[in-house]
Structure 1
Amino acid sequence: MSHLRTTAATLRALCLAALTAALLPAPAMAQTAPTALDSAASDPQREVSVAPDVRDSEIADRLTRILTASGWFDALDVEVSEGIVFIDGTAENDERKEWARQLALRTEGVVAVVDRIEITPEISWDLTPTWREIERLAERAQWFAPLTFASILILALAWLLSRGVAALARRSLRSRITSPLLLNFVARVVSIPVILIALYLILQIAGLTRLAVTVLGGTGLVGIIVGLAFREIAENSLASILLSMRNPFRAGDWIRVADYQGIVQNLNMRTTVLLTLEGNHVQIPNALVYKSIIENFSTNPNRRSEFTVGIGYDDSVLEAQEIIVAALRAHPAVLNDPEPSALVDELGASTVDIKVQYWFDGHAYSVFKVRSALMRQVKLGLQNAGISMPDSSREIIFPDGVTVRHEGADAAGDMRISAHPAPLLPEEDAADATAGEGDLASEAQDLQRQADAAPAPEEGANLLAEAPPR
């Protein structure tokens, strides 16, 4: 009896082993088959049942109903073979595709999922999301409305208060600061803290405490960065302030600076504008003007000018000096105090050079016209007195020599020379001014009329005071 029981147990074990050997290859193929497919296959992290209780048709039917009910998939086709789910169709995005794959993996009896869903995004004309965003913006606007109103009110009050502080600063400092530019600059500096306090209050109301502290603390750093970035502009602006404080010249003054000479037209925050004697506008950077040597011809109305006259060595220097000084004193443009002078300056190669110096009213007379008239009259006086004004000597060398024959020589070799005195020049040369010299008036008024008629090369507030009428 025991032998029969042992035989029956052995047969049952052999049958179970054969059944297991027959069933195991099928699941193995089901797990490895998707790797040969073009689409991705997902394997569940769970054990595969040897004897599944759910049929493939039931799995396919269940998944089809769920996916169809979602309404997210088109051309849907679900097939199940040996527990492997094959899903075909189209979806609008990857999120829906992933949702379908996870759904199939969580379904009972599913061994693996082959997801062959294609993504085909569709253009939606549904404006519901847009309206929702607009509604959210409207809600935020309603929340920001009181804050915005309070901020505008604070800024308006701060602006009015800053203007009042600036006006008060101008009124109290007007007697101490004569420069209009410096006065406006100081007034603006005094009013800036009012605006900064207003910005700090607005940021505090908005709950941006850290940002408020950063704004106040970073103002100095921002100023340094801006100053480095705009160094030349800041340098010219600072130079304009210093020039307006020092007042080395005024509008309408005749100055020479940085190899340029002309009448000052304008001093703005960037440049100094000159009108040259040729009628051209020259803009010189204020930093260069401040660093250069400024020669102002209009500060003192009396100006000194000079020119040089050369006479022969055989002529009397004393006589020439008397003639020159007499011609200078006779001219109405020359001042008697300081008195004119004629000084021996150099003993040249062929002439004795006399430097002629004189003073005249630079506001009333032109330096060029007066010099022309005086040189003409001095030349006339010297020629009428028989004083020669030879040209510079030149040395000519003849290697073979030159034969010189004296005409009019007697037998003894003496040469008779007839003296021919220099003819007197016309009396028109003795006039104080000729047609070519005009009325000897200064060119400043003519240049100023040209400047008034011409458009300014650079608009901007003039930081200079007008020169007093002359």
Structure 2
Amino acid sequence: MKTLSHRRQRMNTIMLVLVTPLLFLPPAYADQAPAPTEQSVTSSDTSSLAHQIARTKQYIQTLVESLEQAKGDDKDAIQLQLFNKNEELRELLADAINQQSLDNPQLVQLVTAQRRYTQDAYQYITVRLNTLNEQITQASQEQRLPLINEYAELQQYLSSVFEASWENIRWLEQLDQPTQETRNTLEQRLNQRLRLLSASIDYLRQQYTAQEKQIKSSPDSEKPALQLTQLNTQQRLTIATDGLKRTYQLADQLGIETAEYKRQLFGVTGNITQDILDVDVAYSILSHWSANALNWAEDNAPQLVFQLIIFVLILLVAKLLARLTRSVVKSAVANKNFKFSQLMQEFFVAMSGKAVWVIGILVGLSQIGVNLTPVLTGFGIAGVIIGFALQDTLSNFAAGMMLLIYRPFDVGDFVYAGGVDGKVGNMSLVNTTIRTFDNQIIIVPNSKIWGDVIKNVTRERIRRVDMVFGIGYKDDLLKAEAVLTEIVQSHPAVLRTPEPMIKVHVLNTSSVDFIVRPWVKTDDYWDVYWDVTKTVKLRFDEEGISIPFPQQDVHLNWVSTAPEARSDH
């Protein structure tokens, strides 16, 4: 209630000061103005403007008298009417000047009254703003909010007063009255206000930045009070920027140089307006940026160069350590005691080097002042997003880890995996490269390999060669068995242990089949297979043992017929 009463009292004082000069307008011109009514008199006839001006003046006088006796909400309503009526009076005066519907001396008197009005309003608002500034400085943060609201209203009133003063000058110029002195006074006051608002913006902006840093470094218990202080500073900064914009827009009409103020406003708000298209404003912005960049370089270049040198040195050291780490890990995992697969060896070597390299980069970034917390947080968020986007790749990665752990095959093995036969040429955590027997390169995703049957042909050290040879039914069975035994045992690649197996296997349709199963080293498999097959053919030919092929004997029986039966045909 106390704040509301203070606000009403302040509004009463402002309105009395602003409207008092209007009571001394020249008297009514021809007719006595009737009692005021709520409905304004409007007419398209220019001769009625004098009557309307007289009625509006009479109405303003009546409202001022009513204001002295009114209380509470009635005073607020009367104050609003006073402001609106003065606006109506100025509109009527503008029409009268444009239409030249009144005598020139009468118009000059009306404009002169308005000029006194703006001068008195400027003096009062300026004094009130200075007083209010002192009150805001001395008040606590909780008490500043109503004072700042009042300060904002006064700034808006002051901008309106400047705009009305410029309109008064243009009216006087239309009436062929001297305006140079008034114009000079207005330009001086505008320049003064521009400088004052510019200085306030710089100061408040520095205060806001300092308060923001203080909030970030303060404990939670102190943040509410600091945030209230920052809010008050933000409100005052907004008031100053709004006032600067209205002021330089008016100053442009008077030909005052405002490029620097437009540059400052752009730097504070960041809003791109048509003012940026002005050559002077753009040049001022570029010059300011260049000057700031040069000053920053002068202040920070030595430290920045030193930090960059340290960063490069850290990267070089990290690179050397990564190489050394890879060499050490490679030697360690290659030890036969660990029995690591080729894929596991490559995995440990690659991960050790990359881990050292990443740590080196993070240490280097910390030395140049980069905050690693948001960087690591960003990596975590990016990891989640990439995980959703690369589900198939992660599935292959998981299958690669299973291949790494269980080691069903290794590089160099001959395998059947993922529907492909061939020799494993390369393995990674995502895919496996297989070279087929006809020298094709096939890259198979690990998820397909792990989810299918895997046959490792060369995993074991020795293998059994399975062969089948057939002889004819008329050939000597024991002789053939002795020849096969001699051929197998005489081959240098056939192992003595386990013993080779040579047995009569099956009595087939066209042949008697022997199974011949010698054991050999895995690397000698195909050499033994091909050598034994060739030698068997040559020895069977020498020994007169036939190698039958599928055949059928067809027996035809002729039946004779009697001559009588043939003659019947």
Counterpart of 2:290 in structure 1 is 134
Counterpart of 1:26 in structure 2 is 46
Greater relative contact order (Cα 8 A, min sep 6): structure 1 or 2?
A: 1
- Give the superposition deviation at 1:63: 10
Counterpart of 1:45 in structure 2 is 87
1:171 and 1:190 map into 2 onto residues whose CA distance is: 13
Matches within 5 A, 1:230-249: 230-231=390-391, 233=393
Q: Which letter maps to 1:46? A: E
**Aligned counterpart in structure 2 of residue 389 of structure 1, from 534, 548, 552:** 548
- Give the superposition deviation at 1:183: 3.3
Instruction: Establish whether residue 186 from structure 1 lines up as the match of residue 339 from structure 2.
Output: no
2:178 and 2:529 map into 1 onto residues whose CA distance is: 115
1:132 and 1:272 map into 2 onto residues whose CA distance is: 59
Deviations along 1:166-199, one digit per CA (max 9) or x if unpaired, are: 4675577566533254134135325644543443
2:535 and 2:316 map into 1 onto residues whose CA distance is: 70
Instruction: Establish whether residue 156 from structure 1 lines up as the match of residue 312 from structure 2.
Output: yes
Counterpart of 1:339 in structure 2 is 499
Counterpart of 1:460 in structure 2 is none
Counterpart of 2:259 in structure 1 is none
How many residues end up aligned between the 2 structures? 329
Counterpart of 1:309 in structure 2 is 469
**Is the contact made by 1:315 and 1:388 (CA closer than 8 Å) also made in structure 2?**
no
Stretch deviating more after TM superposition (56-65 or 128-137): 56-65
**Is the contact made by 2:400 and 2:428 (CA closer than 8 Å) also made in structure 1?**
yes
**Is the contact made by 2:409 and 2:456 (CA closer than 8 Å) also made in structure 1?**
no
Deviations along 1:88-110, one digit per CA (max 9) or x if unpaired, are: xxxxxx9999749999xxxxxxx
| Residues 1:97 and 1:175: Cα distance change in structure 2 (over 3 Å) | closer
- Give the superposition deviation at 1:270: 5.3
**Aligned counterpart in structure 1 of residue 456 of structure 2, from 295, 298, 303:** 295
- The two structures, once aligned, show a CA RMSD in angstroms of 5.5
Q: Which letter maps to 1:293? A: I
- Give the superposition deviation at 1:357: 1.7
For residue 131 of structure 1, give the secondary structure of its aligned residue in structure 2: helix
Q: Which letter maps to 2:348? A: L
- Give the superposition deviation at 1:391: 0.6
Q: Which letter maps to 1:139? A: N
| Residues 1:195 and 1:346: Cα distance change in structure 2 (over 3 Å) | same
- Give the superposition deviation at 1:152: 1.9
| Residues 1:230 and 1:162: Cα distance change in structure 2 (over 3 Å) | farther
1:274 and 1:405 map into 2 onto residues whose CA distance is: 64
1:306 and 1:58 map into 2 onto residues whose CA distance is: 121
For residue 382 of structure 2, give the secondary structure of its aligned residue in structure 1: helix
Q: Which letter maps to 1:26? A: T
Give me the TM-score of the superposition, normalised by structure 2.
0.43
Q: Which letter maps to 1:182? A: F
Counterpart of 1:417 in structure 2 is none
2:33 and 2:379 map into 1 onto residues whose CA distance is: 88
**Aligned counterpart in structure 2 of residue 359 of structure 1, from 507, 519, 532:** 519
| Residues 1:176 and 1:246: Cα distance change in structure 2 (over 3 Å) | farther
Give ranges in structure 1 of 5+ residues lacking alignment.
Answer: 1-12, 33-42, 71-93, 104-118, 205-210, 397-401, 407-470
Instruction: Establish whether residue 404 from structure 1 lines up as the match of residue 560 from structure 2.
Output: no
**Aligned counterpart in structure 1 of residue 535 of structure 2, from 377, 392, 404:** 377
Deviations along 1:73-92, one digit per CA (max 9) or x if unpaired, are: xxxxxxxxxxxxxxxxxxxx
Deviations along 1:279-311, one digit per CA (max 9) or x if unpaired, are: 3333344555566625142752x4322222344
**Aligned counterpart in structure 2 of residue 16 of structure 1, from 31, 49, 59:** 31
**Is the contact made by 2:506 and 2:514 (CA closer than 8 Å) also made in structure 1?**
yes
Q: Which letter maps to 1:281? A: I
Counterpart of 2:438 in structure 1 is 278
**Aligned counterpart in structure 1 of residue 365 of structure 2, from 179, 183, 199:** 199
Deviations along 1:419-449, one digit per CA (max 9) or x if unpaired, are: xxxxxxxxxxxxxxxxxxxxxxxxxxxxxxx
Q: Identity of paired residues, percent?
A: 23
1:63 and 1:280 map into 2 onto residues whose CA distance is: 100
For residue 503 of structure 2, give the secondary structure of its aligned residue in structure 1: strand
2:173 and 2:547 map into 1 onto residues whose CA distance is: 136
Deviations along 1:207-258, one digit per CA (max 9) or x if unpaired, are: xxxx643334444343343344445556666766776787766665544443
Q: Which letter maps to 1:142? A: E
Instruction: Establish whether residue 225 from structure 1 lines up as the match of residue 385 from structure 2.
Output: yes
Q: Which letter maps to 2:436? A: T
| Residues 1:345 and 1:220: Cα distance change in structure 2 (over 3 Å) | farther
Instruction: Establish whether residue 325 from structure 1 lines up as the match of residue 485 from structure 2.
Output: yes
For residue 278 of structure 1, give the secondary structure of its aligned residue in structure 2: coil
| Residues 1:307 and 1:393: Cα distance change in structure 2 (over 3 Å) | farther
Name the structure where strand makes up a greater proportion of residues: 1
Deviations along 1:92-151, one digit per CA (max 9) or x if unpaired, are: xx9999749999xxxxxxxxxxxxxxx9x9985995554343223323333443553354
2:248 and 2:48 map into 1 onto residues whose CA distance is: 27
Give ranges in structure 2 of 5+ residues lacking alignment.
Answer: 1-27, 36-40, 53-84, 94-101, 112-169, 188-244, 255-273, 335-344, 560-569
2:327 and 2:520 map into 1 onto residues whose CA distance is: 43
Counterpart of 1:258 in structure 2 is 418
Q: Which letter maps to 1:389? A: P
For residue 374 of structure 1, give the secondary structure of its aligned residue in structure 2: helix
**Is the contact made by 1:249 and 1:296 (CA closer than 8 Å) also made in structure 2?**
no
Give me the TM-score of the superposition, normalised by structure 1.
0.50
| Residues 1:305 and 1:29: Cα distance change in structure 2 (over 3 Å) | farther
Q: Which letter maps to 1:148? A: L
**Is the contact made by 1:309 and 1:354 (CA closer than 8 Å) also made in structure 2?**
yes
